[in-house]
């Protein structure tokens, strides 16, 4: 299916809000094997919206709309879409009942005429009720005639050739409502137009170079069209999406799992999730599940690690404390790092990373301790043994009495990138040490 | 000027990268007083691109394009745009010289035929050299005739009525290159088509309710069309953009400053920047400038505050240390909070927030100390005196021997929102205490 994502909302064209719905839907549609040909955003303007719908159907089957369904603006979007499909609005009984029930649950004093309009629907629409807001979603289906006019139908069984089918779906704009509507109703509805069953997995990796990943992928996909593999890279982390569309769900699942095994053979040690989880989520969950007590001390990352770890609900079961020892005095007083070692090697050194983590283990008694120190930038740093290049960072890892230091040399003069990359590597080092030793 | 932002890039339609350029350009164009009517994204497909350009010019004067200028894809975008304007590509001498100089500086072994194509330009284009990459930007101007065909011109002085003028500008896709090109060349070029001079300021506020902000704005703008005021709200922070377009720069500046004074009368105490800076940047800079030593201890924010503070280069001059006392044991051992107080009031209480910050001041001797504790969620917490609602958070502030506690009751059951809002309030409390006492 060839499709377009159409966002309706003046506030996006004013720059007041960022269009995150399009990013989400783009990935979803690609995962489903749909081809995304366009992203469009228009304001609340009927003429432009109608023109754009007609233009888009010249080479698309499906238009996925978000926004423009709020109580103050809904006539415009809904009426225009209905009109584009040669349809008109009428009160939709099920939506009306739902609206009244929603108003009662929330204790509204009255239902305004504007709210009532939210229950008006195109007569031929397939309507999807909204359990998390007041605006239902709907779909219209039809065919385009020779003159470029759309002829709508009540049911897709009335339709012709699937190649000619034109579908529009509309969802509310607030991301929480949109995602609920998408996953509950719209995605299954759209998948219903496919003869095939879809299966996919998003695999997350850390630490693998982009060129290595490319090489592996070229080897694995070598001419085959199903399953497909796509990659999404950002700052040291890469995601792989393996997707398959087969006659049955079982076949599709099996094809994805087969490919996953092949991918593991090449890059298994870099994989930290086969279910699209974040690295800190995987690590946090592992620490809680295995009951491994942990403390952290940070210099260059400055609390980024602890802040990320504390995102995990329930982490208080294992996380004792984090110390941001930004000054040398704090390293000495809090962790008992010796002043001599700082003077001899400099605060930004593997030796100090090791001393920090040893000190932290003494103070806290935690089974796992982790430290960071290094030059985040901007610019190189001056150490006692000469210049320390920006991007040189050191991570101390203490586990059950043993200590090792991971050295990083990013070569990047970018404070944000360096700190983020050091923080992620801290999580990856924890993952690896638990993997090897527990 | 009525304009559209056109992004060219299959990788965006695959969901591989997020279209941040459009967000940036939307805000810039709105600041400049241009009306943004559309956002479009298309892949590297000549027919679709050409069709979209023609459609867009039906109600826009300006199309701002990014992407599609890389060495492997440039013929397509450039050729298609040239063709849409009835023009063709030829080797552009200045771009060729610049390309060769760039290759020499970077020590390239050879310039490939693909790279040479990057120096090909439409014959009537105004070309803008790229100091930070290899793809120059360019602009084409023209008029649309009755048949919907574009007639291009070499110079806008050859053109007719400004109302009819059609302009297309293209910039490289990588955000760093795009922003450089925009600020150095494209923005001044586009502002040249305005009879008026533009002035604007982005004012940042914290802690003001959205409804209060609305009321103030309605009072201030009451029917006037210049200066304009627009607001951008997110999670407790609101930005106001005051913009004026007048015959001269001096008049526009004066109109903006006048309005700024009026805004100050109403909401002066909420304003922390009149130059679009972030709260933590303003606070970090103030601490460094005034040489105020600072330490932090965090429970619910869990290192978010220190991580944000450490974003500021040079903060090591005043930031001693941060302690994430996530467990009660850490609060007792690191800060000397008494176990009795924790047992009596609970760890998530104003009393403990005050004890934390007093203890931190004893340990560090810092002139300013700040603490956080509270219920970030999910769900309410159980304290010794009963349930503590999710979103109840407490910030201890120590300054020159005095201590006070800021209480927050967000009423939100969202861990991310609560922690972020507590972290921002910590910065705001520091701003206020310095404002009042230094």
Tens digit of each residue's pLDDT (9 = 90 or more) over B258-271? 999 999 999 999 99
Distance CA B281, CA B273 (A): 10
Q: What is the predicted pLDDT for the residue at B160?
A: 58
Cβ neighbours of residue B102 closer than 8 Å, sequence gap 6 or more: B134
The DSSP letter of residue B181 is H
pLDDT at A341: 96
Strands B197-206 and B271-273: antiparallel
pLDDT above 60: residue B348: yes
3-class secondary-structure state, position B244: strand
Q: Which of B42, B293, B310, B337 to mutate to test the interface with A (most CBs of A within 10 A)?
A: B310
Q: Determine the pLDDT at residue A372.
A: 98
pLDDT at A348: 95
Q: Is the pLDDT of residue B231 over 90?
A: no
Report the pLDDT averaged over residues A238-244.
87
What integer is the mean pLDDT of A146-167? 76
**Dihedral (C-alpha) B45, B50, B52, B55: value to the nearest 10 degrees?**
-160
Give the tens place of pLDDT for each residue, B164-219: 789 999 999 889 899 999 999 999 999 888 778 888 898 999 988 766 777 787 88
Tell me: pLDDT of A231 over 80.
Answer: no
Sort out which chain A residues have CB atoms less than 8 A from B230's CB and list them.
14, 16
CA neighbor of A99 nearest in space, from A87, A88, A114: A114
Which is nearest to A220 in space by CA: A200, A240, A204, A238? A240
User: How many whole angstroms separate alpha carbon B239 and alpha carbon B255?
Assistant: 19
Is B425 within 8 Å of B406 (Cβ atoms)?
yes
* pLDDT score recorded for residue A158: 66
Alpha carbon of residue A425 to chain centroid:
20
Going from the C-alpha of B311 to that of each of A353, A420, A426, B306, B364, the distances in angstroms are 20, 11, 18, 9, 21
SS3 B326: coil
| Res B232 pLDDT > 90 | no
Among candidate residues B300, B321, B365, B308, the one with its CA nearest the CA of residue A324: B321
Comparison of pLDDT for A238 and A277, the residue scoring more:
A277
Pick the closest to residue B351 from B315, B396, B383, B387 (CA basis): B396
Per-residue model confidence (pLDDT) at position B193: 85
Please give the residue of chain A at the shortest CA–CA distance from B17: A232
Are the beta carbons of A19 and B36 separated by less than 8 Å? Answer: no
How many residues are present in chain A?
438
Say yes or no for a CB contact (<8 Å) between A37 and B298.
no
A105 has a pLDDT exceeding 90: no
Angle at A20 between CA A15 and CA A26, to 5 degrees: 130
Q: Which residue has the higher pLDDT, B72 or A24?
A: A24
Query: Does B342 have pLDDT greater than 70?
Result: yes
- Range of A87-96, B41-50, B106-115 with top mean pLDDT: A87-96
Q: How far apart are CA A120 and CA A201, in angstroms?
A: 39
Q: Residue A134's pLDDT band (boundaries 50, 70, 90)?
A: confident
Report how far residue B438's alpha carbon sits from residue B430's, in angstroms, rounded to the nearest whole number. 11
Q: To the nearest 10°, the Cα dihedral for A188, A192, A198, A199?
A: 20
Q: In B19-92, where does DSSP find H-type helix?
A: 20-31, 46-56, 74-84
Taking alpha carbons only, the member of A196, A201, A197 closest to residue A257 is A201
pLDDT bin (cut points 50, 70, 90) of residue A160 is low
Distance CA B100, CA B134 (A): 10
Percent of chain B with pLDDT over 90: 60
B125 DSSP assignment: P
Model confidence band, residue A161 (pLDDT cutoffs 50, 70, 90): low
DSSP B396: E
Nearest to A313 among B30, B333, B415 (CB): B415
Q: In 10 A of CB B140, how many CB atoms?
A: 26
Question: What is the rounded CA–CA span in Å between residue A360 and residue B180?
Answer: 45
Are A325 and A331 contacting, i.e. CB atoms less than 8 angstroms apart? yes
Within 8 A of A16 by CB-CB distance, chain B residues are 230-232
Contact flag A40-B38 (C-beta cutoff 8 Å): yes
Contacts with A324 from chain B: Cβ below 8 Å? 296, 303, 306, 310, 321-324
Residue B11: pLDDT band with limits 50, 70, 90:
confident
Distance from CA of A23 to the nearest CA of B (A): 6
CA–CA separation, A375 vs A366, rounded Å?
27
For all residues of chain B together, what is the average pLDDT? 90
Nearest-CA distance B139 → chain A (Å): 23
Residue A6's φ and ψ, nearest 5 degrees, are -120, 120
Phi-psi region of B296 (alpha: psi -120 to 50; beta: other; left: phi over 0): beta
Task: Tell me the average pLDDT across A428-437.
Answer: 96
**In A349-414, which ranges are continuous DSSP H helix?**
350-364
Q: Verify whether the Cβ–Cβ distance B334 to A321 is below 8 Å.
A: yes
pLDDT at B73 over 60: no
Of B5-9, B181-185, B342-346, B377-381, which gets the smallest average pLDDT?
B377-381
Q: What's the pLDDT score for residue B241?
A: 85
* Chain B positions in Cβ-Cβ contact with residue A7 (cut-off 8 Å): 39
Rounded to a whole number of angstroms, the distance from the CA of B39 to the nearest CA of chain A is 5
Q: Is A247 exposed, middle or buried (0-12, 13-18, 19+ CB in 10 A)?
A: exposed
Inter-chain CB pairs, A–B, below 8 Å = 195
- Element of type H or E holding B280: helix B279-290
Angstrom distance (rounded) from CA B334 to CA B328:
10
How buried is residue B211: exposed, middle or buried, by Cβ count under 10 Å (0-12/13-18/19+)?
A: exposed
CA atoms of B279 and B431, how far apart (whole Å): 9
Distance from CA of B78 to the nearest CA of A (A): 19
Q: How far apart are CA A378 and CA A390, in angstroms?
A: 7
Mind telling me how many Å the CA of A139 is from chain B's nearest CA?
A: 23
Per-residue confidence (pLDDT) for residue A224, from 0 to 100 = 74
How many residues belong to chain B? 438
Q: Can you tell me which residue has the tokens 């695999």?
A: A203
Q: Which of A75-89, A357-371, B336-350 has the lowest mean pLDDT?
A: A75-89
CB pair distance less than 8 Å for B302 and A309: yes
- Optimal mutation site among B4, B326, B342, interface A, most CBs of chain A within 10 A: B326
The single residue listed with the structure tokens 């972030």 is: B278
Give the helix/strand (H/E) hosting A151.
strand A150-153
Dihedral angle, C-alpha A410, A415, A418, A420, nearest 10 °: -160
- Residue B221 burial (C-beta neighbours within 10 Å; 0-12, 13-18, 19+): middle
Smallest Cβ–Cβ distance between B303 and the set A36, A41, A306 belongs to A306
Find where tokens 């100091």 sit. Answer: B131
Residues B235, B394 contacting (CB under 8 angstroms): no
At B349-379, the pLDDT tens digits run: 999 999 999 999 999 999 999 999 999 988 8
What pLDDT does B311 receive? 92
- At A270, is the pLDDT very low, low, confident or very high (cuts 50, 70, 90)? very high
Q: Which of A58, A326, A415 faces B321 most closely, judged by CB atoms? A: A326
- Looking at residue B243, its pLDDT comes to 87
Tokens of A305: 């690690």
Of A217-226, A342-351, B177-186, the least confident: A217-226
Q: What residues of B are in contact with residue A321 (Cβ under 8 Å)? A: 323-327, 330, 334
Distance CA B307, CA A234 (A): 21
Helix-strand-coil percent breakdown of chain A, rounded to 5? Answer: 45, 25, 30
Checking if the pLDDT of B72 tops 70, the result is: no
What is the spatial distance between Cα B259 and Cα B224, in angstroms, rounded to a whole number?
11
Element holding A26 (H helix, E strand)? helix A20-31
Least confident of A151-155, B96-100, B142-146, B330-334: A151-155
The angle at the Cα of A266, spanning A264 to A268, to the nearest 5 degrees, equals: 40
Q: Is the pLDDT of residue A296 over 90?
A: yes
Given a cut of 90, whether residue A334 has pLDDT beyond it is yes
CA A208 to each of CA A268, A348, A395, B366: distance values in angstroms, whole numbers, following the listed order: 11, 26, 18, 43
Chain-chain contact of A22 with B19 (C-beta, under 8 angstroms):
yes
The answer to whether residues A263 and A336 touch, using CB atoms and an 8 Å cutoff, is: no
* Stronger pLDDT, A318 or B223, i.e. the higher one: A318
Supply B296's token pair: 């932090």
pLDDT of B408 reads 96
Supply the pLDDT for residue B144.
Answer: 83
pLDDT above 90: residue A102: no
Antiparallel, parallel or unpaired: β A197-206 and A271-273: antiparallel
- Residue A302: which of B16, B43, B310 has the nearest Cβ? B310
The Cα–Cα gap between A124 and A82 comes to 9
Per residue in A244-263, pLDDT (tens digit) is 888 898 999 999 999 999 99
Asked if pLDDT for residue A56 goes beyond 90, the answer is yes
Query: Do residues B295 and B366 lie in contact, with contact meaning Cβ atoms separated by under 8 Å?
Result: yes
**pLDDT score at A69:** 80
Residue B210: the pLDDT is: 66
State whether A326 and B307 contact (CB < 8 Å). no
């Amino acid at each position: 299916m060839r499709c377009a994502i159409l966002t309706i909302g003046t506030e996006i064209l004013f720059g007041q809000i960022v269009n995150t719905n399009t990013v989400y839907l783009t990935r979803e549609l690609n995962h489903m094997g749909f081809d995304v040909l366009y992203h469009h955003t228009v304001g609340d303007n009927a003429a432009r919206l109608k023109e754009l719908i007609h233009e888009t159907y010249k080479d698309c089957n499906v238009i996925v709309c978000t926004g423009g369904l709020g109580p103050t603006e809904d006539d415009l979007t809904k009426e225009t879409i209905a009109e584009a499909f040669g349809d008109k609005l009428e009160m939709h009984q099920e939506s009306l009942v739902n609206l009244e029930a929603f108003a009662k649950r929330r204790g509204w004093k009255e239902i305004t005429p504007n709210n009532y309009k939210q229950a008006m629907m195109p007569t031929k629409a397939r309507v999807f009720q909204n359990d998390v807001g007041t605006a239902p979603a709907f779909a219209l289906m039809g065919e385009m005639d020779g003159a470029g006019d759309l002829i709508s139908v009540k049911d897709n069984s009335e339709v012709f050739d699937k190649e000619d089918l034109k579908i529009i779906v509309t969802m509310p704009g607030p991301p929480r409502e949109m995602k609920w509507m998408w996953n509950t109703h719209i995605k299954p509805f759209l998948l219903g137009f496919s003869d095939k069953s879809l299966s996919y997995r998003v695999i997350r990796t850390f630490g693998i170079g982009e060129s290595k990943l490319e090489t592996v992928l070229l080897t694995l996909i070598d001419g085959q069209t199903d399953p497909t593999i796509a990659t999404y890279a950002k700052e040291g982390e890469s995601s792989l999406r393996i997707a398959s569309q087969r006659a049955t769900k079982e076949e599709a699942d099996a094809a994805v799992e087969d490919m996953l095994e092949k991918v593991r053979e090449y890059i298994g040690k870099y994989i930290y999730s086969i279910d699209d989880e974040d690295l800190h989520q995987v690590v946090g969950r592992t620490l809680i599940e295995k009951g491994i007590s942990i403390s952290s001390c940070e210099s260059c990352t400055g609390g980024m690690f602890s802040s990320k770890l504390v995102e995990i609900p329930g982490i208080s079961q294992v996380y004792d404390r984090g110390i941001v020892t930004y000054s040398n005095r704090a390293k000495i007083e809090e962790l008992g790092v010796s002043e001599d070692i700082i003077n001899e090697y400099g605060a930004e050194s593997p030796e100090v990373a090791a001393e920090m983590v040893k000190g932290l283990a003494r103070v806290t008694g935690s089974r796992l301790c982790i430290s960071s120190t290094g030059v985040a930038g901007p610019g190189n740093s001056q150490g006692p043994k000469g210049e320390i290049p920006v991007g040189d960072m050191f991570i101390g890892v203490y586990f059950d009495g043993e200590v090792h230091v991971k050295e990083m040399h990013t070569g990047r003069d970018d404070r944000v990138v360096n700190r983020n990359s050091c923080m992620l590597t801290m999580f990856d080092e924890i993952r690896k040490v638990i993997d090897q030793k527990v």
